[in-house]
Amino acid sequence: MAAGSAASAASRVFLAFLGAVAVITVLLAVLLSIQAQNTQRAEAEAVTLAVARTIAEMPEVAAAVQSGSAASATARLQPIAVRIMDDTPIDFVTIMTTEGIRLTHRDPAEIGRPYLGTIGPALEGRTLTEEAVGTLGPSLRSVVPVVSDGEVVAMVSAGITLGSVGSGVVRQLPFVVAIAVALAAVGLAAAWLAGRFTRRIAGDLPASAVRDAVSSYESVRTLGEALRAQTHEHGNRMHTAVALLELGRTDEAIGILTETSRQSQELVDQVAARRQGDPTVGALLLGKAAQARERGVEWTAEIDPAAPRSALTPVDAVSVVGNLIDNALDAAAAGPAPRGVRVVFAPAPGGALEISVSDSGTGVPPELRERIFAHGFSTKPAGAEGRGVGLALVRSIVEASGGGVDLAENPTTFQVILPGRRQ
């Protein structure tokens, strides 16, 4: 791509993929970090509960608490608590009386002081796991009753500080980073392949040139459909008129031919009245009128003689108007009777052109009002009638020219404002 030229379509595809990969990678890294934190927390809760239950079920604990004074109980239980704290990831083991007085603690100076935390459920014979602030700071701890002969004689609290939980998350960060880097690498490769594939198709053409190519195709397509319908309609009427003439029913044959001429002439007169009108768009309207009659849709076209010619090229103008009419015809034909499409060309403030295309269809659901303009989105099935290109192309062309597209309801109306062509 030459310096200073517009970004090619391939470059834009590459950058779009790269941006999507970056966003997805960051989101995944955040989600994995949150998942790691939740996992560490769940494991900490499970470990504290398991250790507290194991200690509470040790016969020597109940025996020590019931054997004599608090001092003798501490002498027998503190070594057990220290050994467990040394051999497990538990940060503290506190065995306490039913009054909540500590018999063991990581800091011997805290022995004999009240336990800081909830003990009510344990006194009732139930277990409890909570987050609370104690002498070692915030922690996750489980409190389990020590039961002897059906009575609660003491309680055991085993806990892990939140700092220890956080260190466990830190240990998993290399895994998270590795996953994020791997995803970024795969995404970068995909972006490069997408850019290379686009370059093979579009070369170094700027994105605007690719859009112009699509617009040209859409213009040819919609004009072709209009001319086919017009040719088919005239052919049918001519065959009918000839048959009537052969049967000697001259007046009916003349009536059919006259009606055909009158309907076309009315639209021709409106088009011709616009001194600044686009003849290509006029030809399109004539063909679309025939296409509407072919599909059983009532056609109404109102063209204000004062409506200016838009700043669009004939190809883009046909693409915009043709796609809007195609969309309206599809909606009207699929909707309930009476079926109709109305096209209006009128002047807008500031020398602009307003094009309104309304249909009698069932309308656009609120949740789809923005999605219908997205590339590749279509409410129609895939295939010739389900291109997913039309409205996206319309918005792209209109906004590139400095205009705008709006959608109204009751009836469904696409309103386009285009800058007028400077003389």
Please identify which residue in the block is written with the tokens 């065959």: 239
**pLDDT reported for residue 364:** 85
**pLDDT reported for residue 352:** 92
On the CB side of 413, CA atoms within 13 Å amount to: 13
**pLDDT reported for residue 2:** 40
Measured between alpha carbons, how far is 411 from 344 in angstroms, rounded to an integer? Answer: 14
Mean local confidence (pLDDT), 331-346:
92
Q: How many percent of the chain have pLDDT more than 70? A: 65
pLDDT tens track for 12-34: 666 666 677 677 777 777 776 77
Assign domain 1-203 one CATH number from 3.30.450.20, 3.30.1280.10, 3.20.20.70, 3.40.30.10: 3.30.450.20
Strand partners, 386: 383
**Confidence tier at 233 by pLDDT (50, 70, 90):** low
Residue 260 has pLDDT above 60, yes or no: no
**Confidence tier at 248 by pLDDT (50, 70, 90):** confident
Mean local confidence (pLDDT), 55-66:
88
Higher pLDDT, 228 or 385: 228
Domain covering 207-418 in this structure, CATH number: 3.30.565.10
Higher pLDDT, 202 or 330: 330
Residue 168 has pLDDT above 80, yes or no: no
Measured between alpha carbons, how far is 360 from 339 in angstroms, rounded to an integer? Answer: 6
**pLDDT reported for residue 392:** 83
Count CB atoms within 10 A of the CB of residue 129.
18
What are the tokens at 147? 């039961």
**Confidence tier at 382 by pLDDT (50, 70, 90):** very low
**Confidence tier at 216 by pLDDT (50, 70, 90):** low
Question: Lowest-confidence range among 174-183, 190-199, 297-306, 383-392?
Answer: 383-392
Q: What is the rounded average pLDDT for all residues in the chain?
A: 77
**pLDDT reported for residue 199:** 57
Mean local confidence (pLDDT), 156-164:
84
Domain boundaries along the sequence of the chain: 1-203, 207-418
Residue 368 has pLDDT above 90, yes or no: no
Higher pLDDT, 282 or 336: 336
pLDDT tens track for 1-12: 443 344 555 566
**pLDDT reported for residue 363:** 87
Q: Tell me whether domains 1-203 and 207-418 share a fold.
A: no
Mean local confidence (pLDDT), 94-123:
90
Higher pLDDT, 43 or 355: 355
**pLDDT reported for residue 66:** 86
